[in-house]
Structure 1
Amino acid sequence: MPRPERRQVQASSVGIAYGGTFDVPQTLIRTPLQDGDSWSGRWRAGGTRGTTDTTVTGTETITVQGRGLTCYVLTRDTTLNGDVIGIQHQQTCWAPELGMPARDDHRVDGTYQGVRFSARVRMELITLPVGEAQQPAGSAHAPGSAAYGFAHAGASPGQATSRVHRPAARRADG
């Protein structure tokens, strides 16, 4: 099995930065993904500790710019303690041919510095990385960006949305 790629990331959830770099690097995606795979991790980020359980719960096909993408559905449940106390449920539709999520749903309920909160966020890929729209599945990535749309719970369609550009990752074979 290939070694997971390790990167330092700032811990945050639905826009709430609550810590620092993960202490004990976390496996976010294991490849190759297979339905039923699962893994767990305990971590610390600043004053927050967590235990995260991830399971591959199936596959689905979603359409972005008229192109069908097969995604693995990753379900993550996290228990948070410390500066943030609560639970987080996350469901990610991971598109391996793009090396990025095509959809990501988060729900977090808890307290942060003594203030109770409940938040939901949905992120959807709305624009394929440059060069991907015309290329068949499995083709190499061209440098470019992808656009994501964020919808906040309770927003009317078209309200409270924004576009964020994320640099497309280059594959080793491209």
Structure 2
Amino acid sequence: MGKSSESSNRLVANNKKAYYDYFIEEKIEAGLVLHGTEVKSLRQGKCSIKESYIQIQNGEVFAINMNITPYEKGNIFNKDPLRPKKLLLHKNEISKLSGQIATKGYTLVPLQVYFKQGKVKIEIGLARGKKNYDKRESIAKRDQERQAQKELKSRNLRF
């Protein structure tokens, strides 16, 4: 008899700024190598991926600057909150990503951290940087959608 919360994805951290700063070409789900107190801290929702990035070193993938706040009751078992966290990916996925990063000028950014069937997962995106005019286009598009929603809501209220 499993808990219903374990069967669904429970979001821990989201990186909205990544969608603003980058064009996300491809999304990949990876596992995270963590210690016990880090998982307990994540269950409390204490994680930040805003300043973090993904790096490939010696055929392994790491999340750099991913901040997991130390667990309050963890005392000596707590790890450094900013230590590099290893990501679990297949070798062919790693080689494909490293090839795309090297040739096309892409980068890897973390998009969200969540629990899936009791395991901590991170969604990383193969991203290409936006220029300032691209960011202005995104803002204008978002404003247009918001305005259209407002008009639709006001029309529905009249009838």
TM-score by length of 2: 0.25
Higher relative contact order (CA 8 A, sep 6+): 2
Greater gyration radius: 2
| Bigger strand fraction | 1
| Bigger helix fraction | 2
TM-score by length of 1: 0.24
